Amino acid sequence: MTTGIAAAEANTALDAIRTDTPFIKLHVGDPGAAGASNAAVETTRKAVTFGAPSGGSMTNTASFQWVGIAGSEDATHFSVWNDVSAGTFKGSGTITANAYTAGDTYTVATSACTMTMTVAA
């Protein structure tokens, strides 16, 4: 037996994030319970558009990018907010293989950002 949240409930929770104008911020470590720890040198939050959730998962429907990134680091995590500079912390996750150099353009391709909740099978 698999444990987790009912798919319909997971979809409702993800849809609340999706329809609340989500913004992604980069981190160089776990953002913590409030989403404020280990912030990357690049502090700009980028708007992201997600498709409707299904089966407890949703994926970005368009690419988003940071142009002229502020410093050389390895982003390992991200946080999700409902405002470009203040707002409410909505959640966080991990990033894989994403080192960048100051001045780079850092792009997250369409369908490369997925938010998932573990659903009961």
The string of pLDDT tens digits covering residues 62-105 is 999 999 999 999 999 999 999 999 999 999 999 886 789 999 99
pTM, 2 dp = 0.90
Which pLDDT score is estimated for 2?
A: 75
Specify if 23 maps to a domain: yes
Share of the chain above pLDDT 90, in %: 90
Instruction: Give yes or no for residue 19 having a pLDDT over 60.
Output: yes
Specify if 120 maps to a domain: no
Count CA atoms closer than 13 A to 98's CA, side-chain side.
22
Residues 45-62 pLDDT 10s: 999 999 999 999 999 999
Q: Which domain holds residue 96?
A: 7-111
Specify if 1 maps to a domain: no
Which pLDDT score is estimated for 5?
A: 93
| Cα 101 to chain centroid, rounded | 20
> Taking Cα atoms as reference points, which of 60, 58, 57, 72 lies closest to residue 26?
72
Specify if 85 maps to a domain: yes
Specify if 67 maps to a domain: yes
The structural domain count of the chain equals 1
Which pLDDT score is estimated for 1?
A: 53
Are 2 and 53 spatial neighbours (Cβ–Cβ below 8 Å)?
Answer: no
